[in-house]
Structure 1
Amino acid sequence: MTTRARRTQRRTEALSRERIVKAAVELLDTAGEGGLTFRALTERLATGPGAIYWHVANKSELLDAVTDSVVAAALAVEPADSGDSPQEEIRAVALGLFEAIEEHPWLATQLATQLSRSPWQSVAPRVFESVGRQVRALGVPEGNWFTATSALVHYTLGAAGQNSANTVNAQVLGPGMDRAEFLGTVSRAWEELDPVEYPFTRAVANHMREHDDREQFLAGIDLVLTGITALRSPAE
C-alpha cells in the first residue's frame, strides 16, 4: 500500500458517519437547509468531498441520516420508574420531540418530508413505535391502535412544528423581537377583529398573549389521551 493510500484510508476511517452527521446538524442549526452543502461540510470537517461521499451518497441521504439521528436522540428517554404510567411515557416521548423541534427549527420540515415521502425508512417507525407501545399498554383495542397512535403523532408533530415556526417568525418580524412581543402582536390583532364575524377569536385573544407553549402542548396531549383511554373496554 502506498503512503498516499494509507493516509487516505486513515482519513476516511477518522471521518466517521457520526462526525459528518454532527457537523451537518450544526450547519442546519446555524444556516438552515440552504446552508447545508457538501462544500460547507468539507470546510467544517477540514477534509475533501471524496471522504464525505464515502459515507453518504448525496444531500438527500445526508438529510435522512441527520433527521434520524436527532429523532433517535429525542426519543432516547431515560428508563422510567416502574410506577410510571403509559400516559406519562407518552407525555415524555411527545415532549422530547417537541423540544427537539424547538431546538432545531429545520426538523419539522424534514419530519414532514420523510413521513410523507418515505415512511418506510427509520424515522416513521421510530416515532410510531415509541408512541404505539404505550397506546397498546393503555389497553386500547387492537383495532384502534393505528388510529390512536396516528392522532398522537400528528398532534405532536403539528403542534411542535407550529411552535417552532412561531419562534422563527418572531425573529423575522424584527430585530430583537422575542416570543412575548410576537404573541402580544398577534393578540392585539385578534382583539381588533370584527366582533360579529370573529366573536370566539376575540374572546380568546388574551389567552394567546399569556399562554405557556409547553403547558399548552401537554394539555393538548392530555386531551387526546382522554379520548384514547375512553376506547378501553370496561374491564381495563
Structure 2
Amino acid sequence: MRTETGIRTVELGVALASTYMVAVTLAQTSIYGKLKPWILRFLAPLLLSFGADPAFFDIMILGVVLSISFLAWRRGDEAGFGRLFSLNMLMFFPAVIDFSMFNWVNLIFPYDPAPQVGDLWVFGVGLLLQATYLTLRYTVRFRGIREELIGRDADEGDVNEVSRGQMTYLVQLVLGTALISAGVYFGAPYVKNLLSAEVAGLPYPHVIIGVACTFLIAAAIILYLRGGGSRPEAVGEAPGEAEV
C-alpha cells in the first residue's frame, strides 16, 4: 500500500498548497479589501462573543478554507475534489478581476482596483490551480483502477507498477500543460503586437479575427471529440495498465 499512500500524499499536498495560495491571494485583492470592513462590521460582535479577535479575521478565513480542503482530501472522491476546485476558483475570481480589461464588477460595485500582488503572481497561482485540478482529477481515477485491479486478484507488485506508470504520465501531463500555458502567457504580448501591425490595414479587423477564431475553436472541438476526449474511461489506458 506504499504506492497508494504516496498518491494520497500527493493529493494532500496539492490540495492544501493550492487552497493556501489562493486564500493568501484573495486577502490581497481590491474586492476583498473593499468588502472586509463591511463584513467585520457585522461579524465583529459575533467573533468577540466567542473570544476571537477580529484583527485575525484573515487567519480565520485561511483556517476555514484549509479545513475544507483537508476534508475534501479525506473524502477523496471526485465530487469532493470538484467542490474544492469550485471553492478555489471562487476565491481566485477577485484576483482575476483586478487585472481584467473588462472589470464588470466595477460597473455594479464601484471601486479602484489596487491589488497588492502582481500579474505574474496571479498567473502563477492560476497555474497552480490548473495543475491541482489535473492532478486530483486523475489520481482519483488512478486509485479507482488500483481498487479494480486488486479486486481482480492482480499481483500487488504489478498493480504498483501500473500506478507508478500512471503517475509518471500525470507528471508529464502537468509539466506539459504548465509549459504551454507559460508559453502562451509570455508570448501573447509579442503575438498581439505582431498581429496589430498585420491587421491594421484590413477592413473591420475585429470582425475578421472574430470569425477566424470562431472557426478555429469549432475545429479544435471537433478534433477533440473525434480524438476520444469525450470518453472519461480513456484515463484507464494510461501507460503501464496494459502490463497487468
Same-fold call, TM > 0.5? no
Which structure is higher in helix share? Answer: 2
Q: What TM-score does the superposition give when structure 2 sets the normalisation length?
A: 0.34
Q: What TM-score does the superposition give when structure 1 sets the normalisation length?
A: 0.34
